[in-house]
Amino acid sequence: MTSASSSPSSRPPHWAATTLRRLAEAAMALSLLGMVLAVFFNVVLRYFFNTGLAISEELSRLLFVWLVCIGAVLAMAEGKHLGFDMVTSRLRGRAAAACRWLTRALIAVALYHLVTGSWQQVLAGMDSRSPVMNYPLALAAAGTLVMGACMAALLAVDCAQALRRGEAPEEQA
């Protein structure tokens, strides 16, 4: 199984891409650390002192949402999302190119729905607050909005690179 929309490049990544990847990995590490500490302290307080942190669950959930969203963007950037290529791996030439462009188009449609739906959730969550931490619920919905926008940008880069390689979508007609 491979990703249909990614193609490994033989040249090293641009310094900006490397910096963004490292920032994303650092954000994921900080999210995971925050989750672990919140849950650990909550467990210790409950076990030893028969009390707990009220914010532990909300903080962990918010950090988990962002961790998953950032991880999904990194997986797409590295071509590590699961893909079903039993049929497409056997195709060559125009048929293979047509399937790759069809895949890109379907991904674009899915990302359009993800981004528009996430935007609606952000707008709806602007006036709603979390019960314990009192943060706007739009902050959680913003994770999927950022994820969708970043994935759309990665898809656009993939399409541009495919066109530069000479994989024009109109050749398949």
pLDDT per position as a tens digit, 123-151 = 999 999 999 999 999 999 999 999 999 99
Is residue 161 over pLDDT 80? yes
- How far is residue 38 from each of residues 17, 29, 34, 104, 145, measured CA to CA in Å? 31, 14, 6, 40, 25
Closest CA to 38 of 50, 56, 51: 56
User: What's the whole-model pTM score?
Assistant: 0.82
